[in-house]
């Protein structure tokens, strides 16, 4: 994995962390964890439109298609 043969590792920037905190505060009613919020911010920055997840929170983002459906 660290050789980036199967995937690439993305690191959060300070701006990403700040943006995620803003999402965390704005959507406090959703019950999203801070990790959910960092995922949302990173996915938006990278233009990722599909997520493989069983977490209902990803469906609440409204900006990603979640598989399996």
* pLDDT tens digits, one per residue of 42-64: 999 999 999 999 888 999 998 89
HSE-up of residue 50 (Cα within 13 Å, Cβ side): 4
Q: How far is it, in rounded angstroms, from Cα 65 to Cα 3?
A: 28
| Model confidence band, residue 20 (pLDDT cutoffs 50, 70, 90) | very high
Domain residues for 56?
14-67
Quick check: is 8 in a domain? no
Percent of the chain with pLDDT over 70: 100
Q: Which regions of 1-69 does DSSP assign to beta strands (E)?
A: 50-52, 65-67
Q: For the chain, how many structural domains are there in total? A: 1
Q: pTM of this prediction?
A: 0.86
Quick check: is 3 in a domain? no
Q: What angle do CA 16, 47, 49 make, to 5 degrees?
A: 115
Quick check: is 5 in a domain? no
Quick check: is 57 in a domain? yes
């Amino acid at each position: 994995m660290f050789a980036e043969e199967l995937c690439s590792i993305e690191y959060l920037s300070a701006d990403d962390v700040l943006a995620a905190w803003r999402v965390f505060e704005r959507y406090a009613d959703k019950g999203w964890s801070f990790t959910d919020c960092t995922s949302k911010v990173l996915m938006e920055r990278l233009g990722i439109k599909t997520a493989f997840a069983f977490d209902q929170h990803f469906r609440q983002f409204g900006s990603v298609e979640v598989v399996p459906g």
